[in-house]
Amino acid sequence: MASTSVSRIVPASPDKVWDLIGGFDALPDWLPYIPESVAAEGGRVRRLTNPDGDVIIERLVDFNDAERHYSYAILQAPFPVDGYVSTLRVHAVPGRDDIAEVQWSGRFNPDRAGEKEVVDLFTGIYADGLDALTKTLAA
């Protein structure tokens, strides 16, 4: 199983960051790669569409509002992986209430692609996503 993780310090309190990203259906609010998200099954499944029209279906597998994190599994996507589970987490920065650390991590089995290729793909997605989050919060 392969994995990757990307973290960023963002210009907002942990609560403000979590208010923006903590909803499982909130990706379009901060992630340009996902302009559309439709919730299903009481909010436990999201059907995402990217700018190319590709569909990504994900299921929420863990959610902890108090600790500010959730995990999800990909059910359907154009990515060359299976067994994908990812976690989005907001950490407080000790001694600071005006910034937060956001970590996006995932583990997966490469399928129809090499491990480096898939790790690079998701590292790029996470990094671009957290850069977009930083821009959204700074605006």
pLDDT of 48-102, one tens digit each?
A: 999 999 999 999 999 999 999 999 999 999 999 999 999 999 999 999 999 999 9
Report the share of the chain in percent with pLDDT over 90: 96
Report the share of the chain in percent with pLDDT over 70: 100
Contact 9, 93 (CB under 8 A): yes
Contact 112, 10 (CB under 8 A): no
pTM for the model stands at 0.94
Looking at residue 29, what is its pLDDT? 96
Buried b (16+ CB within 10 A) or exposed e, 83-101: ebbbbbbbbeeeeeeeebb
Residue 139: pLDDT above 90?
Answer: no
